[in-house]
Amino acid sequence: MMESGAPLCHTCGEQVGHDANGDLFVACHECNYHICKSCFEYEIKEGRKVCLRCGSPYDENLLDDVEKKGSGNQSTMASHLNNSPDVGIHARHISSVSTVDSEMNDEYGNPIWKNRVESWKDKKNKKKKSNTKPETEPAQVPPEQQMEEKPSAEASEPLSIVYPIPRNKLTPYRAVIIMRLIILGLFFHYRITNPVDSAFGLWLTSVICEIWFAFSWVLDQFPKWKPVNRETFIERLSARYEREGEPSQLAAVDFFVSTVDPLKEPPLITANTVLSILAVDYPVDKVSCYVSDDGAAMLTFESLVETAEFARKWVPFCKKFSIEPRAPEFYFSQKIDYLKDKVQPSFVKERRAMKRDYEEYKVRVNALVAKAQKTPDEGWIMQDGTPWPGNNTRDHPGMIQVFLGNTGARDIEGNELPRLVYVSREKRPGYQHHKKAGAENALVRVSAVLTNAPYILNLDCDHYVNNSKAVREAMCILMDPQVGRDVCYVQFPQRFDGIDRSDRYANRNIVFFDVNMKGLDGIQGPMYVGTGCVFNRQALYGYGPPSMPRLRKGKESSSCFSCCCPTKKKPAQDPAEVYRDAKREDLNAAIFNLTEIDNYDEYERSMLISQLSFEKTFGLSSVFIESTLMENGGVPESANSSTLIKEAIHVIGCGFEEKTEWGKEIGWIYGSVTEDILSGFKMHCRGWRSIYCMPVRPAFKGSAPINLSDRLHQVLRWALGSVEIFFSRHCPFWYGYGGGRLKWLQRLAYINTIVYPFTSLPLIAYCTIPAVCLLTGKFIIPTLSNLASMLFLGLFISIIVTAVLELRWSGVSIEDLWRNEQFWVIGGVSAHLFAVFQGFLKMLAGIDTNFTVTAKAADDTEFGELYMVKWTTLLIPPTTLLIINIVGVVAGFSDALNKGYEAWGPLFGKVFFAFWVILHLYPFLKGLMGRQNRTPTIVVLWSVLLASVFSLVWVKINPFVNKVDSTLAGETCISIDC
């Protein structure tokens, strides 16, 4: 609807301009990072010859042009920066949203919108006045740039830097990938043109499986084409935003912690997470911790009361002695010399006192847990004698309690503590609550009303802050004006405690977090993995990034929200008519950049920002809607705390999201149990990019299910979520093509995340083929020629070399890679297979089948749960595969002994593939046997039964002994002279 101009420079805010040929000036052709020619020349003069965003070297021709011009452009750059427009560090081009025609209640509508319009008018008038001031009067500098008027050398440097993988490591890696593609092409040509007629069914099955494996490898490999490393500089962040004697200019952060059942998620673990948040190395007035209790449990509430009281002692102790980690359970359990580097004489005495206080705190919390094991018939009663509102977990009002903060209790030294807020959203029968995604969206609204920090960090209840400076690491990216403008979130890798060194079930996911995510960081950014992620709040509201292309006047824009299909063009007409006539079959809202509203008069501007259009998108809360328009976060100074609490209760009502865009285009997206993948995918489709941050000390650590049954159940849930996305409208195969904002390698990565469960079908067939070959005496590969032998050898070598070079640039150990390969097979033939069938049942028949794991007590020893096996149907398929392959190996050797020397050659290839299956399933076998062979009897019975039926069927069809031709036998008998 608006006249489009050149994009704005991300450094100075001016238009990018054009080059000598009249084309739009582009400094980096890899990521099209918007930077004007003057800023580009300044960067080159300063010695920075790589892109600020992706780290790619600039074009040599552009560098030559700059070098020819000499150093005269530095003064031009200085004047260019001095005349930059009012663009704040956290300013974003937010957009008003509408799903129906705008209506005017009065001249400007609601007073909130009138105030907002007046602020825009004042801003526009100030801008005009600043342009007419005499030259002797200094120009007004935006507040966000006042800190940088006289920056130190350290403060003026970038807050983070990209280190591309060295070419001597990356170039051979890419070359081997291309070589492997060529070898795969030749291999499939040989396989298809040389069928095995004697075992045509087995041959065809194996070829189909191999083609799928090659397709899956391409999806997994090519998003790792351009991996990068990053380094952040916390000292520079402090030098720029924390000057001595001045208030801290760091952005505020709202922490989200989610919990449901305190009996399955121990309150002590959740409390340690909360304590580590309250003690982070960050200004206390900038930190707020919101705990979502989706089970409305009085146990969770009472444990938070105890936690808030203990935090008054724990937080000052952590900050006084700079201890790490700041979760007391994990700090006191460290097997290290705690006196190392602690020179304060009082440390030993205070540490012992603090440990004693923590043990007493644990006793109180455990007493609450013991009391909560049996619910009273009349329900729980609070200390004031009133019934607990959450006695009915499916029918209760919304509850909010603020424990700490500027109006709450202070620590024992009288200092302010971060705010701690308990939240339990309203639940009523007949309403969809959307599990964790719904709880996170409720926290978004509550935090927007109460504190409205511009950034949000969400953690699972069992993931504590392991690095107290983790928030500063994220701010080095999000608060960097050159990098953070288009960043929707900063994702940290997941690290885990309580896993044995062998990590037999690949619980650490090292290959994914240290290889795949680094590769995605070089494209459009890592995926959102559900925890340890710092969000830009505006990205959660569905807005596009500041660099999103402007809308043309007289034309419909494609929605930033759907990013799917561009709408049809219309001839130029009145903007209001265009706005009313916009098609909305696939678009739920029309987006307009607020920076372009200055081109309209007051009436048109009020139409675009009408209250009705916002309410149809965000819900019926004027306070919340006003918070979405506050560029730098924060709450109005005139806000009344009691009024805000009432409004916060209102926005967590169970009916608040009805007929809005929550869960569809705003916040965490509904429709999958893996809402994290879906939410990150929607943001990338809108044009945002994400950043992967890997500090030397892990930012967060959590607990992983280390026994076999729980691990398979976890993988089942992840795979089911991917299958649900595959069958939804958000499938990356067809969603998000409008505007071309999702990069193709990024799309391949998302496609890989939703199709990997389907690999279970060819994988289980391929793991069965070796046993079939051994039982029938047939094989899927004909007699090899010299050329075929070379192809097979080349394929195996390329696979090994690819893995070796990947280990070289990523730093992952070969043991981690092997564990990942093993569990890929284990999970593929069990959890992924069940997820596919469950997804089909849910899609076709509407049957929601749950494969649950029953609880069982674990041994009270280190890694005791590793040897515990719980009954689950997921154990049957891999156990069956193990048995039939072992039976096949025995049968193969028996058959070779009967046939003689000539049978041993063909046997080698068959046994090789059978051992390949057995070796990959070996961790499963070891976990299944456990300690003292405590394998569930039902698993053994079912597996032996299935394996026996399978073996007997093949013996009946094609026994080991050679079949005797009856005709030939008759002729032989006739020829015998009796």
Please state, rounded to an integer, the average pLDDT across all residues of the chain.
Answer: 75
SS3 572: coil
**CATH number of 285's domain:** 3.90.550.10
Catalytic annotation, pick one of 254, 411, 462, 676: 676
- Give catalytic status of residue 977 as yes or no: no
Query: How far is the C-alpha of 724 from the C-alpha of 736, rounded, in Å?
Result: 17
652-693 pLDDT tens trace: 888 888 888 888 888 899 888 888 899 999 999 888 999 999
Q: What is the enclosing helix (H) or strand (E) of 229?
A: strand 228-232
What pLDDT does residue 950 have?
57
> For residue 116, is pLDDT > 70?
no
Q: Identify whether 140 is part of a domain.
A: no
Asked whether residue 515 is assigned to any structural domain, the reply reads yes
460 is in an annotated binding site: yes
Give the other-Cβ count within 10 Å of 56's Cβ: 18
Nearest to 317 by CA among 462, 406, 421, 417: 417
138 pLDDT band (50/70/90 cuts)?
Answer: very low
Task: Give pLDDT tens digits for 347-375.
Answer: 888 888 999 999 999 999 999 988 888 88
In a domain, 134, yes or no: no
Q: How does residue 610 score in pLDDT terms, banded at 50, 70 and 90?
A: low
State the DSSP code for 527.
Answer: P
Cβ atoms within 10 Å of 968's Cβ, excluding its own: 9
The proportion of the chain whose per-residue pLDDT surpasses 90, expressed as a percent, equals 19
Backbone phi, then psi, for 869, in 5-degree steps? -115, 130
Contact 299, 369 (CB under 8 A): yes
**For position 530, what pLDDT does the model report?**
87
pTM for the structure as a whole? 0.74
Does 624 score more than 80 pLDDT? yes
In the DSSP assignment, the letter for residue 514 is: I
Task: Please identify, among 15, 39, 58, the residue that sits at the C-terminal boundary of a domain.
Answer: 58
CATH code for the domain in which residue 48 is found: 3.30.40.10
User: In the predicted model, what is the mean pLDDT of residues 488-501?
Assistant: 87
Is the predicted pLDDT of residue 557 greater than 60, yes or no? no
Identify the pLDDT of residue 108. Answer: 36
Residue 676 bears catalytic tag: yes
Tell me whether residue 285 is annotated as binding: no
With contact defined as beta carbons under 8 Å apart, do 201 and 775 qualify?
no
Boundary residue ending a domain (12, 29, 58)? 58
47 lies in which domain range?
A: 1-58
> How many structural domains are present in the chain?
2
Tokens, residue 586: 């696939």
**Residue 586 in marked binding region:** no
| 527 inside domain | yes
Q: Which residues contact 300 (CB under 8 A, 6 or more apart)?
A: 259, 262, 267, 270, 291, 293, 422
Structural Rg of the chain based on CA atoms? 32
Q: Helix, strand, coil % (nearest 5) of the chain?
A: 50, 10, 40
Please check whether residue 475 lies inside any domain of the structure. yes
**Token pair for 588:** 């739920």
Residue 392 carries which DSSP code? S
Q: What is the pLDDT of residues 852-889, one digit of tens each?
A: 433 333 333 444 454 455 556 778 888 888 888 888 88
Report pLDDT for 375.
Answer: 83
Q: Kind and range of the H or E element at 703?
A: strand 700-703
CB contact at 8 A, 508 and 817: no
Residue 438 above 70 pLDDT? Answer: yes
User: Lowest mean pLDDT: which of 24-38, 49-63, 431-445?
Assistant: 49-63
Instruction: For residue 497, say whether it is annotated as part of any ligand binding site.
Output: no
Contact 649, 448 (CB under 8 A): no
Does 436 belong to an annotated binding site? Answer: yes
Q: What is the pLDDT of residues 796-848, one digit of tens each?
A: 899 999 999 988 888 888 888 888 888 899 888 888 998 898 888 887 776 66
Of 65, 221, 217, 88, the C-alpha closest to 148 is 88
Q: Which of 683, 704, 725 is the last residue of a domain?
A: 704
Asked if residue 560 is part of any domain, the answer here is no
Residue 316 belongs to some domain of the structure: yes
Burial of 453 (0-12, 13-18, 19+ CB in 10 A): buried
Given 294, 462, 521, 710, the catalytic residue: 294
- Read off the pLDDT band of 457 (50, 70, 90): very high
How many angstroms from the chain centroid is the CA of residue 58?
30
pLDDT higher than threshold 90 for residue 410:
no
Residue 410 lies in a domain: yes
Q: Is 294 annotated as a binding residue?
A: yes
- Cβ neighbors of 680 (< 8 A, separation 6 or more) are 488, 489, 527, 528, 690
395 is in an annotated binding site: no
